[in-house]
Amino acid sequence: MEIWYEDALPNVEFIKDRLITIIPDNVENANHARNITAARTIFVMLYAYAIEGEAGRIRPSMVTVMTDRQSMEQTRSARETWRALVLGPKKPNDPERWYSENTREPIRDDTISSLREIGAVEEVAGVPTTSSKPRYFLARDFANLLNPFLEGDELEELIAIWRTAHLAKGALILQGLREQELRSEIFVEFGHIKHPMSPGKSSVLTKAAVEVFAHNFMEKPEVLLISESSEKVHWQFGKLLERLKLAINPKKTLPDLIIAETGSSGFRLVFIEIVHSDGPISNSRKRDLLALAEASDLTEQECTFVTVFASRSDAAYRKVQSSIAWGSFVWFADEPERIVHLIDTESIGKKGLNDLLR
C-alpha cells in the first residue's frame, strides 16, 4: 500500500490547486469541493490518517481546531497524539485555530457533503446522525490523486479514470467540450465530410449539435448549412441549398446551422442557433426564419427551431432563457438524450395538451 502521506504532507495551497485540477468547475456544488475550506478539510483527513484502509476517521470539529503550527508537526506520533487529543473530552481551543466552533456545521453540510457527492469522501456506515463519533474519511482512489509526487501524464491518466468512475455523465461531457475549445482545429464530421471550423466554444457546440443532437433526434439528417461569421455560406453548402431550391441570402441574418430531416417521416427543416453568449431562437428570430422557409415554399409545420446551449447551468442560458420562443426546442449538450419543448397551447390545442399530460 502506498504511504506517501506518512512523513510529509502537501500543504493546504497545494491541495487546493490539486482539487481545482481534479474536479471540474461544472460539477454541482463544485465551489464547496474546490475552495480553501475543502483543502483544509482534506488536509486534516490526511493528517489524521482518515483514509480508506487506515484506522483514522474525523468529525467536522477536528477541522476547526487545527492550526498552522500543528499542521507542521507531521510525524506519525505527533499526528496520532493530536488525533487522540481532539477526540478526547478536553478539546484544544487555541486562539490560532483555523475556524470557530460554530463553523463545524457548514463544514459538514457544505464541504464534506459536496466531497461525498463526488465520491472523494466516504462515511462509516451505521453511525447515527446525532453521534459525535468520527465517521468521515478519504476514499483511497481520491487520496492517491493528492500525491505530490504524481504529475504529468500519469496524473492526467489517473484523474481521467477517477472522473469516469465518479462524476456524472453531464460533467464529463462539459469537461470534454472545454478541452475541445483549446484545440487549434475543430472539425465537424457528417457523412464523408470533415468540415473545418475556427476554434472556440461556438464551434464546439456546433460540432455537438451535428454529431450528437442530430444523431439522437433525427432519423436521416442532412446538414445544409453551417454558418460562421468568417464565411456565411461555405461553397459545399451552397450547392446543397441550390439543389433543394432553398432561398438563402448570405447578406441577411442566417441561423448558425440548418439540418434537413430526410427520413421516412417526411422532409423537415431544423433551424438551430448555437448560444454561448446571446442569440437564441427568439420570437422575432423565429419569424425571420419562417419567412426564409416560406420563400422556399415550406410551411411552418415543416420547420423546427432549436436553441443549443452547453448546459442548464451555463450563464448564457440563464441570460436569455426568458426570450426563447414558444413552440421551439432547447437542447443542452451535457444532457444529450433529453430535449426541452416550450409548448405553445395555441398551436397544439387543448386536446393535444391533454395527450401530452397523460
Listed in sequence order, the residues at least 6 apart from 352 whose beta carbon sits closer than 8 Å to its beta carbon are 345
Percent of the chain with pLDDT over 70: 89
Instruction: Please indicate, yes or no, whether residues 53 and 99 belong to a single structural domain of this protein.
Output: yes
Residue 218 sits in the same domain as residue 153: no
Residue 298 binned pLDDT confidence (cut-offs 50, 70, 90) = confident
Residues 154 and 189 in one domain: no
Q: Which residue has the higher pLDDT, 7 or 334?
A: 334
Is 3 among the domain residues?
no
- Domain membership flag for residue 6: no
Which structural domain range is residue 134 located in?
12-167
Q: Classify strands 268-274 and 340-341 as parallel, antiparallel or unpaired.
A: unpaired
Give me the mean pLDDT over the 12-30 stretch.
Answer: 91
For 214, the enclosing helix (H) or strand (E) is helix 214-217
Which pLDDT value is given to residue 128?
81
CATH number of 120's domain: 1.10.10.1820
Asked if the structure places residue 77 within a domain, the reply is: yes
- Asked, for residue 2, whether it belongs to a domain, the answer is no
Longest dimension (CA), the chain: 84
Please check the confidence at residue 26 and state whether its pLDDT lies above 90. no
In a domain, 4, yes or no: no
Domain boundary among 167, 185, 212: 167
Check pLDDT > 60 for residue 158.
yes
Cell of 273: 442557433
pLDDT at 16 over 50: yes
Which has the higher per-residue pLDDT, 29 or 154?
154
Note whether 196 and 330 are same-domain residues: yes
What the block records as the C-alpha cell of 160 is 481521467
C-beta separation of 40 from 63 below 8 A: yes
Whether pLDDT at 1 is above 80: no
- The DSSP code for 58 is B
In a domain, 352, yes or no: yes
Q: Do 88 and 178 belong together in one domain?
A: no
Place of cell 446551422: 257
Q: How many folded domains does the chain comprise? A: 2
Higher local confidence (pLDDT), 348 or 121: 121
The three three-digit cell numbers of residue 224, written as one number: 445544409
Asked if 149 and 248 sit in the same domain, the reply is no
> Which of 167, 191, 226 lies at the terminal end of a domain, its last residue?
167
Mean pLDDT confidence for 179-189: 84
138 & 236 share domain: no
Q: Are residues 348 and 291 in the same domain?
A: yes
| DSSP assignment of 124-163 | -TT--TT--S--EEE-HHHHHHT-TT--HHHHHHHHHHHH
Model-level pTM greater than 0.75? no
If asked whether residues 86 and 149 sit together in one domain, one would say yes
Does 220 share its domain with 346?
yes
pLDDT, position 347: 66
pLDDT-derived band at 276, boundaries 50, 70, 90: confident
Per-residue pLDDT at 39: 98
pLDDT for residue 235: 46
Strand pairing report for 303-309 and 268-274:
parallel
- The CATH number that applies at residue 299 is 3.40.1350.80
CA 16 to chain centre: 19
Sign of CA pseudo-dihedral 193, 194, 198, 202:
positive
Task: Note the pLDDT of residue 241.
Answer: 65
Mean pLDDT over 91-108 rounds to 92
- The reply to whether 208 falls in a domain is yes
214 and 292 assigned to the same domain: yes
For 140-173, letters b (16+ CB in 10 Å) and e give eebbbbbbeebeeeebeebbeebbeebbeebbbb
Average pLDDT over all residues of the chain: 87
For residue 88, is pLDDT > 60? yes
Q: Based on the domain organization, do 65 and 190 belong to the same domain?
A: no
In a domain, 1, yes or no: no
Distances (CA, A) of 199 to 175, 177, 315: 16, 12, 20
- Which residue among 152, 167, 182 closes a domain? 167
